[in-house]
Chain A
């Protein structure tokens, strides 16, 4: 089955801790994205990557970091600098690097809760 996997499904973080959310795709897609979803709000873009070893900040990048060392992997680290990290995090990908007319494919999400 081709698709996007995210792990873990649920993640609990203590104050001051960094945590890393995993995102892997076997669709051979060029571009990958991280979104944050809060209740009553749409998806907000955190970071995106159009090619290996390159990534750009989205609308709410502060307190987050990413890497893209392999085409299929785009992990997101939520650092202690992110003051309100409790949210549902979604990873997505598009076939083309620029997105364009491509459909975005989404992973199942990771729910992060700060204790």
Chain B
């Protein structure tokens, strides 16, 4: 079975500081990993994904994530946080080998960026 863990319910950072939102995963085969962002009462928006290749993936709004196979992690990062980055962030994994392409989502991490 595949699973995703987001160990922090909440992350607080000051504007201008770097931010990290953590994600670890468990799959049987090769993982396809995704980050999505959700603003209040809205649907999820895609930020970035890792499929294969370079371990550092760059995405929308200046976000990036690093795939680490040995630590089974896919942490989301941004060098300089903005107040407008405050939202709920979801990590998701898809394992084509055992789960017919269905995604499993983490419980989400609320990011708060303070001015």
Contacts and interface: CB of A to CB of B under 8 A. Distances in A.
Chain B interface size, under 10 / 10 to 19 / 20 to 34 / 35 or more? 20 to 34
A99 B96 CA distance: 9
Interface residues of A, number: 26
Interface in B13-72: 32, 34, 36, 41-46, 49, 51
Contact of B108 (A6, A42, A100): A42
A111 B41 CA distance: 8
B108 to A, nearest CB: 6
A106 B43 contact: yes
B41 A45 contact: no
Nearest to A104: B103
A19 B106 CA distance: 28
A109 B100 contact: no
Contact of A58 (B92, B101, B102): B102
